[in-house]
């Protein structure tokens, strides 16, 4: 490997950490250890603050909001901040919701940090698209029901829509992140593409947290049911036969809110 001399001050390390879908107990042991070692922690607004019990006393905690494309800390600013702290020789932890590499911009941050010559470690987390359906006993794949799963975002910031018709044809479970606001359109597109109206579908809000709520039904009715129940928090939408497993005997839905 090429030898490189890094001039003083020492370059610190940045760890991109997945905090899991919500419940702070879903943080991994490795994540907790890395948090305890960090001098600076940048935390996303979707991450439950109880995760910070693992931070070391006196660590600098920086909140970097970034919800649904609205008022948020610009990505370039976050990247510059991490680089600056690490260049000061500090150990930096970047705590992100779910898994840092699933719709979390972790890939972009990794590239920016590497380009700046940083040492980067990535600690995966449980992504909402798997961990949240699991609270209801919904497996995203199942030998008899779904041979695969597709993770897709429903939030089209640049106006570009996922190819719902192509996704409908895959026959895989569809796990849709950031899709709640466009659920009506998404469901219509899937049905126009030939997906059956009675395809089981659900929306789960604030999954794994005490405030979790869900609506379970069919593709045709889900958008209306979601509106009736007033779901508006971060939500995962699952479309496919696996949704039939929700609440099957022996699986107790976790902290199902009234």
| Closest C-alpha among 21, 62, 36 to residue 207 | 21
Structure tokens given for 42: 């940048």
Q: Is 13 a catalytic residue?
A: no
Restricting to residues 42-61, name those near ligand SAH by CB under 6 A: 46
Packing angle of the helix pair 75-87, 106-115 (nearest 10 deg): 40
Q: What is the DSSP letter of 117?
A: T
In angstroms, the Cα distances linking 181 to 141, 176, 224 are 25, 11, 12
Contacting range for ligand SAH; rule: CB under 6 A; set: 83-91, 136-144, 223-231, 234-242:
234-242
Contact status: 132 vs ligand SAH (CB under 6 A): yes
Residue 173 sits at φ, ψ, to 5 deg, of -65, 135
Q: Hey, what are 49's tokens?
A: 């603050």
Residue 191 falls in the annotated catalytic set:
no
CA distances from 204 to 76, 110, 147 (A): 31, 30, 22
Residue 90 or 243 having the CB closest to ligand SAH: 243
Indicate whether 133 belongs to the interface with ligand SAH (CB under 6 A): no
44 carries an active-site annotation:
yes
- 104 near ligand SAH, rule: CB under 6 A: yes
CA distance 40 to 43: 10
Interaction between residue 214 and ligand SAH (CB under 6 A): no
Which of residues 15, 91, 199, 208 is near ligand SAH by CB under 6 A?
208
- The DSSP bridge partners found for residue 92 are 14, 40
Separation of alpha carbons 213 and 109, rounded Å: 32
Q: Please give the span between the terminal C-alpha atoms of the chain, in angstroms, as a whole number.
A: 58
Catalytic position from the list 48, 66, 118, 195: 66
Can you tell me the distance from the alpha carbon of 145 to that of 152, in angstroms, rounded to the nearest whole number? 19
Cβ at position 2, least distance to ligand SAH in Å: 33
Question: Is 207 among the residues that bind ligand SAH (CB under 6 A)?
Answer: yes
Please pick, among 23, 44, 48, 99, the residue that the annotation labels catalytic: 44
The CB-of-228 to ligand SAH minimum distance in angstroms stands at 19
CB closer to ligand SAH out of 98 and 200: 98
Q: Which of 140, 234, 238, 239 binds ligand SAH (CB under 6 A)?
A: 234
- State the maximum Cα–Cα separation within the chain, in Å, rounded to a whole number: 64
Q: Which residue number, 201 or 204, has a Cβ lying nearer to ligand SAH?
A: 204
What's the min distance (Å) between Cβ of 89 and ligand SAH? 29
Q: Which positions lie near ligand SAH, rule CB under 6 A? A: 21-22, 46, 96-99, 102-104, 127-128, 132, 177-178, 204-209, 234-236
Catalytic residues: 44, 66, 178
């Amino acid at each position: 490997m090429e030898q490189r001399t890094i001039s003083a001050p020492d370059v610190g390390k940045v760890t991109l950490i997945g905090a899991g879908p919500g419940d702070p107990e879903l943080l991994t042991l490795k994540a907790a250890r890395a948090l305890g070692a960090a001098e600076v922690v940048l935390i996303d607004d979707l991450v439950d603050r109880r995760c910070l019990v693992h931070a070391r006393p006196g660590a600098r905690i920086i909140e970097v909001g970034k919800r649904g494309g609205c008022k948020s800390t610009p990505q370039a600013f976050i990247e510059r901040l991490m680089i600056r702290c690490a260049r000061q020789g500090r150990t930096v932890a970047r705590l992100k919701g779910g898994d840092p590499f699933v719709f979390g911009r972790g890939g972009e941050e990794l590239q920016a940090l590497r380009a700046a010559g940083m040492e980067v470690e990535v600690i995966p987390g449980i992504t909402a698209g798997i961990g949240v359906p699991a609270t209801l006993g919904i497996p995203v794949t199942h030998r008899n029901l779904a041979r695969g799963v597709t993770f897709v975002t429903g939030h089209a910031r640049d106006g570009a829509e996922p190819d719902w018709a192509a996704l409908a044809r895959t026959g895989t479970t569809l796990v849709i992140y950031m899709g709640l606001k466009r659920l009506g359109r998404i469901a219509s597109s899937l049905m126009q593409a030939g997906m059956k109206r009675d395809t089981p579908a659900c929306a789960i809000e604030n999954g794994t947290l005490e405030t979790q709520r869900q609506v379970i039904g069919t593709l045709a009715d889900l958008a209306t049911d979601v509106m009736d129940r007033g779901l508006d928090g971060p939500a995962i939408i699952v479309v496919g036969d696996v949704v039939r497993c929700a609440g099957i005997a022996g699986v107790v839905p976790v902290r199902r809110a009234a």
